[in-house]
Structure 1
């Protein structure tokens, strides 16, 4: 596992947390919720890409 992957996920988390706080304090709770959901989707896409690479590596290893 790359350390860069952890930093990417942490950066998305920090950015979403800051935006969530700013939007919530300005009274835009619906946009804060959408920002949180978008951050979750971005992290899930990053993780799915890494899992896909893992499965490709396993398939190449066993010759399927």
Structure 2
């Protein structure tokens, strides 16, 4: 399953991403105007997600 976090500049996307993934990407007080894509893999211990994975075979 792939998910994305989208939002306005300086709205906390990287902060949320870091909190969910345990990453340490730096947050900037002002947007540089450049698009940076951060990628991480997270284990989600949830039987419902396991079942979705079995059904959709990502």
Q: TM-score, normalised by structure 2?
A: 0.30
Instruction: Select the structure that is richer in helix.
Output: 1
Question: Which has more radius of gyration?
Answer: 1
Q: TM-score, normalised by structure 1?
A: 0.28
